[in-house]
Amino acid sequence: MPSITINGTPCSFTPGQTILQVANAAGIDIPQYCYHDGLSIVASCRICLAEVWAPNPKTGQVEPQMGGKLQPTCQTPAAEGMVVYTDSPKAVANQKAVMEYLLINHPLDCPVCDQAGECLLQDYSYEYGRGVSRFEEQKVKQPKKDLGPHVLLYSDRCIMCTRCVRFTREVTGTGELMVAGRGNKEEIDVFPGVPLDNDLSANVIDLCPVGALLDKDFLFSQRVWFLKSTPSIDPLTASGDNIFIEHNQGQVYRIKPRTNPAANRWWITDEVRYGWKFVHGDHRLASPMVRQYGTLVGCDYARAYEAAVEGLQKAAAGGKKVALLVSPMIACEEAYLLASLVKAIDPEAVLGVGPVPVRGRDRIYPEGADESHPRSFKMYAEKAPNARGVRRVLASFGPVLEYADVLRTLGAGSGRSDAGAVLVTGNYPDAAWAGDELTGALAGKFVVLIDTLTSAAMGEADVVLPSATWAEKDGTFESARGHLQAFERAIPPVGLAKSEGQIALDLRAELDRAPARVSGADLMVVNTTPGQVAAAVEVAPPRSKAYAAAAVRAEMASRPGLDVFSTGVRTPEQPTAARTDMPIVAL
């Protein structure tokens, strides 16, 4: 492999890479604003300039290239034997000058700027800038602008790297943003009446190296240094976009894209970015509930588990089948545990996949391009993260029914059904999933509902168990791109919620603990005083294992058809150890 030397460090490269790309890959710091892997190269910020020496093809002598002119490393292709200096006096003088130029018209409002703490201007000012400002003149003042539904522009913080402009031209192809004006009065703007409103619009916020483009949703809500960042997977669409959940003290604040060249690359859609609101929504189910005298009343888990297992067992014992409806919103591991549970109750159980929401059609950006476009980004119409994974897991237990077939089996339309009890999982981000056909099919059966939000399905449920959203648990989703991707728990479950996996394990423990109740005696009624909450009855909670996705995956992998879970799951890359510029001194 050919190699170049950057600041004394030899780095190998593949032909076609620019010097900056080689340096980035090798972990050598070269300051950069306008350069971005996913966008075209403009070489306009001028801070990455370096002195480049290269061997003279005639003499073989290493000589300064282009007569010692500083060269933009982002644009200069690496060539065998090149020697690059970004720490030479000339290059350092340029870095200092560019930092000074960028700051002369930049307001000193870091204390109220959302970008503070993750701002390249701050980082490079610290590393490459000068300590004091020599600028005594008037700063150019520019307005704040509302660019679109998600994005605010603070023009005076802008350093004109034009990443955002290039993004709307090259990645979305919508071209809403432009540069208006000239010289130091120029600003990013939209045409009047054409807001920055496309499915990927909020990515310009991540692209902005400074605090010029800000997220309306995140505006002034948290200082970024308080946020913890947990790698995760898009929970709302089939695309399997890699994301970071940024949270603090059990509260999600924002979602950021996580770079994955094989999946979403650098971008996520706005629906993924802002789709987490249901996690802290007002309609989260707060506690387990059981139906008493026709009404759902809150109770403790032990009581709910007991009622659930008893109901399911009774149906199985009564010659009826138990049906399991696994929603495509929950993780593979949880589908596995739930299916194991149901099969333990009723070996003849019917397994089906819940409704898979589809909105519109798949859309490919840039507009008008197809998937062969080098910058294409596909937005999936299928709004469920794990339909494929759930099918894959359930298929190892027997035939898998699609949602329509499940409804038919439950007697929708005909009214005749041999299913007596149904275990239904939800976890959809909105309540619309439980339509009339579902409630109609569930009517008259013993229904255990595991869900996160209140929905119409509760009207037919006999036991309701509150479940945790994806942010509150581990698991694996299988995306439409065919990737099995693991995600990690970011925040503890909200309220009394538990993950579907934990609920399945608990129910299993309950099942193993309790002797089969086959008599006609209805213990629940006997034990309950009318008008009093069932929690008054002391029942020892079942002792179960704690749900851990990795352990479940190991167990699943031994099952025929699921061996892919042993090695085929992509786990998030562990962040490399934080770099420190302070030497650790032995005392």
Partner 1 sequence: MAFPPINPNLSGPVLTQRIPGWPYADPKGRHVVSYEEYVKTGGYEGLRKALGMRPDAVTEEVKASMLRGRGGAGFPTGLKWTFLPKVKADESGREEDAGRRYLAINADESEPGTFKDRLLMDFDPHLVLEGIAICCYACRISTAYIFIRGEYHHQAKVLEKAIAEAYANGVFGGKGLLGGASTARGGSWAVDCYVHRGAGAYICGEETALLEGLEGKRGWPRIKPPFPAIKGLFGRPTIINNVETLAHLPSIVSQGSGWFVKQGRASSLAGQMGSHGTKLMGVSGHVNRPGTYELELGITLRQLVEDPALCGGMRKGKKFKGAIAGGISMGVLGPDQFDAEMDFDIGRKYNVLGLGTACPTVFDEDTDMVAVARNIARFFKHESCGQCTPCREGSGWLYQLMTRIEDGQGRTKDLDLALEIATSMGSMPGTTICGLADGNNWAVRTIMNKYRGEFEARVRPTFVPVKVSVGAMARG
Q: Which of 4, 6, 39, 49 binds partner 1 (CB under 8 A)?
A: 49
Report the alpha-carbon distance of residue 21 to residue 13 in Å, rounded.
9
Report the alpha-carbon distance of residue 470 to residue 476 in Å, rounded.
10
Report the alpha-carbon distance of residue 510 to residue 526 in Å, rounded.
20
Report in angstroms how near the CB of residue 256 gets to partner 1 at its nearest.
27
Return the range that interacts with partner 1 (CB under 8 A); candidates 88-96, 204-212, 487-495, 579-587. 88-96
Cβ atoms of 117 and 223 within 8 Å: the answer is yes
Return the range that interacts with partner 1 (CB under 8 A); candidates 178-186, 258-266, 372-380, 477-485. 178-186
Site for partner 1 contains 88 (CB under 8 A): no
Site for partner 1 contains 122 (CB under 8 A): no
Complete DSSP assignment for 19-50? HHHHHHHHT-----SS--TTS-----S--SEE
Site for partner 1 contains 79 (CB under 8 A): no
Return the range that interacts with partner 1 (CB under 8 A); candidates 95-103, 111-119, 121-129, 373-381. 95-103
Q: Which of 93, 262, 432, 551 binds partner 1 (CB under 8 A)?
A: 93
Q: Which of 26, 62, 104, 496 binds partner 1 (CB under 8 A)?
A: 104
Q: Which of 8, 15, 56, 135 binds partner 1 (CB under 8 A)?
A: 135
CB < 8 Å & 24+ apart, contacts of 262-266:
262/481, 262/483, 263/239, 263/479, 263/481, 263/483, 263/485, 264/234, 264/239, 264/240, 264/377, 265/38, 265/377, 266/36, 266/37, 266/38, 266/203, 266/206
Site for partner 1 contains 15 (CB under 8 A): no
- Packing angle of the helix pair 549-557, 332-345 (nearest 10 deg): 60
Site for partner 1 contains 535 (CB under 8 A): no
What is the pattern of x (binds partner 1, CB under 8 A) and - over residues 58-77? --------xxxxxxx--x--
Strand partners, 51: 85
Tokens of 467: 């479940």
Site for partner 1 contains 156 (CB under 8 A): no
The DSSP call for residue 583 is P
* Nearer to partner 1 (CB atom), residue 178 or residue 395: 178
Report in angstroms how near the CB of residue 180 gets to partner 1 at its nearest.
9
Which residues, in sequence order, are CB contacts of 134 under 8 Å at separation 6+? 100
Q: Which of 42, 369, 535, 539 binds partner 1 (CB under 8 A)?
A: 42
Site for partner 1 contains 43 (CB under 8 A): yes
Cβ atoms of 187 and 181 within 8 Å: the answer is yes
Residue 93 parent element (H or E)? helix 89-104
* Nearer to partner 1 (CB atom), residue 41 or residue 524: 41
* Nearer to partner 1 (CB atom), residue 56 or residue 184: 184
Is residue 407 helix, strand or coil? helix
* Nearer to partner 1 (CB atom), residue 6 or residue 47: 47
Q: Which of 1, 61, 112, 134 binds partner 1 (CB under 8 A)?
A: 134
In Å, the largest CA–CA distance within the chain is 100
Return the range that interacts with partner 1 (CB under 8 A); candidates 91-99, 245-253, 292-300, 519-527. 91-99
Tokens of 529: 């005083």
Site for partner 1 contains 125 (CB under 8 A): no
* Nearer to partner 1 (CB atom), residue 105 or residue 198: 105
Stated length of the chain: 587
Site for partner 1 contains 155 (CB under 8 A): no
Site for partner 1 contains 168 (CB under 8 A): no
* Nearer to partner 1 (CB atom), residue 68 or residue 415: 68
- Packing angle of the helix pair 89-104, 120-128 (nearest 10 deg): 140
Footprint of partner 1 (CB under 8 A): 41-47, 49, 66-72, 75, 90, 93-94, 97-98, 101-102, 104-105, 134-135, 137-138, 140, 159-160, 178-179, 181-186
